[in-house]
Amino acid sequence: MEYTLLYIIMALGISIVINIFLRRLGISQIIGYIFTGTIIAYAFDLRAVSNSHILGLVGEFGIVFLMFTIGLEISLAKMGTMKKEIFGNGLMQVSLTAAVVYIVSYHLYNLDVKSSLIISLAFALSSTAVVLSHLKSSKEIYTPYGQKATGILIFQDIAVIPILILMTVLTNEGNESIYVILQDTFLSAIFVFGLLFIAGKKLMTWLLHFSSSSKLDELFMGSVLFIVVSASLLAHYMGFSYSLGAFVAGMIIAETKYHHKVESDIAPFKDLLLGTFFVVVGMKIDIALFIENLGLVIGLFFIVLALKTAIMYVLLRFTSSKTTALKTALALSQVGEFSFVIFAVASAGGLLDDSLAQFLVLVVIFSMVVTPFFITRINEIVEFFIKEKDTVTDISFLTTKKNHVVVCGYSIIGKFVAMQLDELDAPYVIIDNSHKHVEEAFLDGREVYLGDMSKLAILNALHVEDAAAVIVTLDNLEKKRLICETVLQHTKNVNLIVKVVSLEEKEALADLDVTVIVDGKLEVARVLVERMLTCQLQY
């Protein structure tokens, strides 16, 4: 288009002004980007190009880079520890939600079988872009509800693949059998994952090593972009989503020593392209159709929100506390961006009526507009509904603590640290974001609280600035680093003591001003030699 550059500059300027204003009101910038898209579409009569393949592709790469950064947080080892959240909670949530929405669509709204099935599968998905953006920016991704929400979202993104395969089967006119389609997909998956994890891992590590050793930031950044885009294109070429390839690439890099630098360098690209995605979402809003069906759109949204929240809450109550279950359920109660893809493919394949597809798109957009308003206030909402306070989570009365020790983590090492502090009769408090560990410490009669030490509110409540020392006993390197960074930003006047289990971990924390780094293996070796020297040699 002749005025493409003008449209881009105007969109950038409008989004800046709107987001500055919304920021002062404490409203998410996602709303600003969506409003920008709507303003641009109507001001320059661009509604006709809002469904442009190129524009949609640019917007989709915002999700690609978001999934890449999530992959950086979740290595294969960590995915193994999250298998219950991903493949347990995720499978149950998608299955039960889809089943309930199908029953409502088919019996209550009298839609046909295919339309009901498509709507049920689309509405079972939540917004990766909105929820994970909030969890990462608020650092709540490390909280119990953040971990459960992340696991379910990962499964939902994986579930998009079989959903699209099913739609291919439904629109198939007999040229290919279901068996052939499933076989081709399975072989493609083996090829993609095999290529990325075997050959791709070596290539990625080699490329990042030499680009980082060049001491040129632009070469390192170029290498990262090459890796992300290449993995995305490979996955797409083999019939999967762009974001799945990027997610796998992130998981591979998460197991290298470069993942912290990659994550910080990629953040501006992810945020910029994610903003573009929401601008494209805003351009899809048909104001006239929305006003005409305002009551129906809002009503259907609240029905979906109530259904998804109730289903997820009941599902998660079997393994989580009331607070964690309700927070997770509310965070995932909206309809996600992949619904746009599902409705577009269904409409193009004749599986869904065009007018119904447009109406459903409005419901999804309204869902994504409303979500940032309440997702940032989930804690207040949950506290309103759940009045009881767990004694291990209420830190509000810690007003007189001074010269105390803060022990972060109550796993095996944390328990031994607490025992040693008891012998010294030293005052201490334990903080852990695992309900299981907190309950164990509570039963042991220790002063313990549930919380995430990477959040400033928790540091303030624990009076870290007045503490004699902070001892970090966690095993997860990412959490350890995040906690150390937050503590050091909060105060420099504290002894920060961190446990590491390898030379790689020690090097990963070397750039931080940690008071003491205790290498577990080195200390064991020292104690062994000391014990040897005190032994009486037998002749």
DSSP secondary structure letters along 203-218: HHHHHHHHHHHTT-HH
Instruction: Set out the domains of the chain in order of their start, with CATH numbers.
Output: 4-385 (1.20.1530.20), 405-534 (3.40.50.720)
Q: Does the structure show a pLDDT above 50 at 390?
A: no
**Which pLDDT score, from 0 to 100, does residue 406 have?**
92
Q: Does the structure show a pLDDT above 90 at 124?
A: yes
DSSP string for residues in 139-185 = TGGGSHHHHHHHHHHHHHHHHHHHHHHHHHHHH--SSS-HHHHHHHH
* Amino acid residing at 112: D
Mean pLDDT of 194-198: 79
- Count CB neighbours of 388 within 10 A: 7
Weakest mean pLDDT among 9-18, 292-301, 326-335, 392-401: 392-401
Q: Does the structure show a pLDDT above 50 at 539?
A: no
Please report, to the nearest 10 degrees, the dihedral formed by the alpha carbons of residues 439, 440, 443, 447 taken in order: -80
Q: Does the structure show a pLDDT above 60 at 388?
A: no
Give the span between the Cα atoms of 309 and 333, in whole angstroms.
Answer: 5
Mean pLDDT of 406-424: 90
pLDDT, the chain, mean: 81
From the list 1, 8, 73, the residue with the least C-alpha distance to 275 is: 8
**Which pLDDT score, from 0 to 100, does residue 396 have?**
47
Give the span between the Cα atoms of 40 and 416, in whole angstroms.
Answer: 61
Q: What is the largest CA-CA distance in the chain?
A: 98
Q: Does the structure show a pLDDT above 80 at 500?
A: yes
Mean pLDDT of 415-444: 86
Mean pLDDT of 29-39: 83
Q: For the segment 329-372, what is each residue's pLDDT rounded down to a tens digit?
A: 999 999 987 887 788 778 767 788 878 888 888 888 888 888 88
Q: Does the structure show a pLDDT above 80 at 59?
A: no
**Whole-number percent of the chain with pLDDT over 70:** 87
**Which pLDDT score, from 0 to 100, does residue 48 have?**
67
The burial class, CB within 10 Å (0-12 / 13-18 / 19+), for 291 is: exposed
**Which pLDDT score, from 0 to 100, does residue 177 have?**
59
**Which pLDDT score, from 0 to 100, does residue 114 have?**
86
The burial class, CB within 10 Å (0-12 / 13-18 / 19+), for 71 is: buried
